[in-house]
Amino acid sequence: MRRYLVAGNWKMNTTRESGTQLAQALVAEVPAENPGVEVLVCPPFPYLTSIGDVVNGSGVGFGAQNCYHEAPGAFTGETATEMLTDIGCRSVILGHSERRHILKETDADINLKVKKALASGLQVILCVGELQSEREADQTEAVLDTQMTGGLDGVDASAFDQIVIAYEPVWAIGTGLTATPDQAEAAHQYLRNWLKDKYSAEIADATRILYGGSVKPDNAQELLSQENVDGALVGGASLKPELFIPIIQAAA
Ligand code: PEP
């Protein structure tokens, strides 16, 4: 049985105070022991330590939104995976569409980060997903194949207990448009089959595939009830406890 994962991507939002209040609200609602659902928040880098202190010992974990692939050294402005593990951070989101399309990260860049994060013992949430134009051109599966192949190049089967895939159609991120449950399920099925073909049936069966793209309390239940949807990566709605908590509850 795959355990649901509901992760909040705060992106470049919150202040120290509002982020602390948000984390406190989640800690108050999420049971410390939650076997059915893993809950994670991914605040901006400057607040990772203070949010980590708030969620410490609770049922809420904390992760980063990015990392660099080199060991600590002369890389101005970057963050090493060693720094993340040093502060108790256990996960990192990689390959998010905003990093692919705004910050121009390539599959090769993402792959270096994936391998470094895995080597540091971090859980990697690898995001993949097609643009609207690619969906309209019937290229969704080709794009997912390219991003999975590139992002996971050289990644050994033994690392899969640290890997989560997030299917995030770019046209549904922050737009209010959501993939229909059928569209999400079809893409998730494709990704699970991809894992089966490239790795093994065991890995395909055990790896969690999250859906992301305008998940809200009113669509979470239906998306999460799809056979191959194992949780959600939530952007906008993760900034409001009154929206994020019902999404967590929909997974429970
Ligand atoms: C995201 O940032 O990963 C995301 C899915 O955002 P939103 O929920 O706002 O679409």
Q: What percent of the chain has pLDDT over 90?
A: 96
Choosing from 96, 105, 185, 188, the catalytic residue is 96
- Percent pLDDT > 70 in the chain is 100
Assess whether the C-beta atom of 9 lies below 6 angstroms from ligand 1: yes
Please tell me whether the interface predicted TM-score (ipTM) of this complex is above 0.95.
Answer: yes
Tokens of 10: 């705060």
pLDDT tens readout for residues 30-49:
999 988 999 999 999 999 99
Q: Which of 64, 57, 70, 99 is CA-nearest to residue 85?
A: 64
- 213-243 pLDDT, tens per residue? 999 999 999 999 999 999 999 999 999 999 9
CA atoms of 181 and 29, how far apart (whole Å):
27
Beta bridge partners of 64: 92
Any atom of ligand 1 within 6 Å of the Cβ of 173: yes
Q: Which of 92, 168, 243 to mutate to test the pocket of ligand 1 (most atoms within 8 A of CB)?
A: 168
Best residue among 127, 234, 239, 240 to mutate for probing ligand 1, ranked by most atoms within 8 Å of CB: 234
Contact assessment for residue 71 and residue 51, using Cβ atoms and an 8 Å cutoff = no
Provide the sign of the torsion angle of the four alpha carbons 199, 5, 41, 174, taken in this order.
Answer: positive
Residues with Cβ within 8 Å of residue 73, at least 6 apart in sequence: none
Query: Using CA atoms, how far apart are residues 132 and 92, in angstroms rounded to an integer?
Result: 26
Ligand 1 closest atom vs CA 166: 3
- pLDDT confidence of 247, banded at 50, 70, 90? very high
Q: According to the model, what pLDDT value does residue 35 have? A: 86
240 touches ligand 1 (CB under 6 Å):
no
State the pLDDT confidence band at 22, using cuts at 50, 70 and 90. Answer: very high
The residue contributing the CA closest to ligand 1 atom 6 is 235
Residue 212 alpha carbon, nearest atom of ligand 1:
5
Q: Is the pTM of this model over 0.90?
A: yes
Check if 168 is active-site: yes
Ligand 1 pocket, residue 215 CB under 6 Å: yes
In this prediction, residue 167 carries a pLDDT of 98
In whole angstroms, give the CA distance from residue 31 to residue 241: 15
- Average of per-residue pLDDT across 86-110: 97
Rounded to the nearest whole angstrom, what is the distance from the C-alpha of residue 221 to the centroid of ligand 1?
17
User: Could you write out the DSSP letters of every residue in the chain?
Assistant: -PPEEEEEE-TT---HHHHHHHHHHHHHHS-S--TTEEEEEE--GGGHHHHHHHHTTSSEEEEES--BSSPSSS-TT--BHHHHHHTT--EEEES-HHHHHTS---HHHHHHHHHHHHHTT-EEEEEE---HHHHHTT-HHHHHHHHHHHHTTT--GGGGGGEEEEE--GGGSSSS----HHHHHHHHHHHHHHHHHHT-HHHHHHSEEEEESS--HHHHHHHHTSTT--EEEESGGGG-HHHHHHHHHHH-
> CA distances (Å), 96 to each of 158, 236, 243, 246, in order?
24, 14, 22, 24
Q: With a 6 A CB cut-off, is 235 part of the ligand 1 pocket?
A: yes
Q: What integer pLDDT is reported at residue 34 of this predicted model?
A: 87
* Mutation to probe ligand 1, out of 130, 214, 239 (largest number of atoms < 8 A from CB): 214
* 31 CB within 6 A, ligand 1: no
What are the residues facing 128 on neighbouring strands?
A: 167
Q: CA-CA distances (angstroms) from residue 109 to 46, 67, 136, 139?
A: 23, 11, 27, 22
Binding residues for substrate, by number, are: 9-11, 174, 214, 235-236
- Backbone φ, ψ for residue 179 (5° rounding): -60, 145
Domains of the chain, CATH where assigned: 4-251 (3.20.20.70)
pLDDT of residue 170: 96
